[in-house]
Amino acid sequence: MISKAAFFAFHIFVLVLLTLPSQASNAGQAGFDLPQPNGCYPIGTETVVLTDPHRSRDLLVTMWYPAVEDTSALAPYMDKKTADALAEEWKLQPDFQRLVRTHARLLAPIAVGNPFPVVLLEHGSSVVPAIYTVLAEGLASSGFIVVATNHPPDSLISVFPDGHELKFTPYWPAEADRRTQGVAMGKFADEVLVADVRFVLDQLQELNSHDHFWHAHLDLAKVGIVGHSMGGTTAALATKEESRILAGVNLDGSTYPGMNADIRPVPVHKPFLFLATEEHASGEARAREYIGSESNTYYVVVTGADHMSFTDAGLVSSRFTRDLKPDDSAFERALLTSILTRSLVQEFFAKYLKGTVAPDLDLIVRVDKK
């Protein structure tokens, strides 16, 4: 179980930077490759539109998966309309996305062999799934099929193949107090975002049964979920409520956003990993957001991280900021945290979806009884 003693400031993986090729000094306008995935598989990717007629709801879903070597085109980091919206929000250089090189190839053939475990990837509010590409590619290269849903109106923008787009719209009362807003956010997470998770799982079953490309490649008996910020809230609730999900990861999200003085513990009695910033971990209530088992609940505080450190944001912003020169030190810090995040999430899902060991996670992290 989580207790106030269960805070661990991570100082591991410092040596990672010594073994990674530095891209800090010559990225900028020359562009740069995202961190190299550390698994053994090449990566493929596809984006599809899933339509829920019962809720009159269309969802853009991007899938990264283990592939075979292929010569198809590398996937763009994101489409231009999405990049333009992100550039405006984050004050980035125009067309920055053209300078970011991914490692996934469009519609590369899926790797042969047994079906692969599935990891659902849930984005935070007012961002897009593409900013989790480092994590998604790492998981796919390690033998997971990653399924990232764009959830309007919580995402910054959803750009559909026919050209229409949906932009972020607040779904909480703007003039209400913080607690009332938090209740509205929690209601949205439970009634809309978790419902989207269930719908996507249903559609994955259909794809696995009837789609020519995906047939029999998804191991839907081994499903995990990882989310950041509001997506972390979604991951916690979905892990608790959805029997098809075996394990969950929350990257610095709350139980009910905004309810800082009124945390409602979520009884997640399944394997669960919480990566948090020092700011998030401060305060007695923060240590009690989740209730789980001592043997499989992990609560990790990442020293020096900020809320967006668990995404690609630091890598992108440090290279392509509009107003300042590229920041090499910020790039190196962002690289370290993104590699750390990817490594721990991969280990966690490998342990609970594949039955392998998690040496770094189990060596460093201990959770005391409450």
Rounded average pLDDT over 23-51: 82
- At 347 the pLDDT is 96
* pLDDT at 194 exceeding the cut of 60: yes
For 196-215, the pLDDT digits (tens) are 999 999 999 999 999 999 99
Q: 160-198 burial, b for 16+ CB within 10 Å, e for fewer?
A: eeeeeeeebeeebeeeeeeeebbbbbbebbbebbbbbbe
Residues 6 or more apart in contact with residue 369 via CB below 8 angstroms = 1, 3, 294
H-helix or E-strand containing 145? strand 145-150
Q: 273-282 burial, b for 16+ CB within 10 Å, e for fewer?
A: bbbbbeebbe
Of 117-121, 290-294, 337-341, which one has max mean pLDDT? 117-121
* Structure tokens that stand for 158 in this block: 């959803």
Strand partners, 110: 67
Q: Give 7 or 73, the one with higher predicted confidence.
A: 73
Identify which of 28, 32, 13 has the alpha carbon closest to the alpha carbon of residue 103: 32
Of 57-66, 292-301, 326-335, which one has max mean pLDDT? 57-66
CA 271 → CA 121, 223, 295, distances in Å? 16, 12, 8
CA atoms of 194 and 234, how far apart (whole Å):
6
- At 295 the pLDDT is 75
**Distance between the two ends of the chain, CA-based, in angstroms?**
6
- At 203 the pLDDT is 98
Report percent pLDDT > 90 for the chain: 66
- At 263 the pLDDT is 58
CA 322 → CA 86, 88, 127, 329, distances in Å? 12, 10, 18, 17
CA atoms of 14 and 60, how far apart (whole Å):
37
Q: Mean pLDDT for the chain?
A: 86
**Using 50, 70 and 90 to split pLDDT, how confident is the model at 364?**
low
Q: Are 64 and 136 in contact (CB under 8 A)?
A: yes
Rounded average pLDDT over 297-321: 92
- At 30 the pLDDT is 65
CA atoms of 139 and 72, how far apart (whole Å):
21
* pLDDT at 22 exceeding the cut of 90: no
- At 288 the pLDDT is 61
CA atoms of 29 and 38, how far apart (whole Å):
26
Q: Are 225 and 238 in contact (CB under 8 A)?
A: yes
Q: Give 257 or 363, the one with higher predicted confidence.
A: 363
pTM for the whole structure: 0.91
Rounded average pLDDT over 59-85: 97
**Using 50, 70 and 90 to split pLDDT, how confident is the model at 359?**
confident
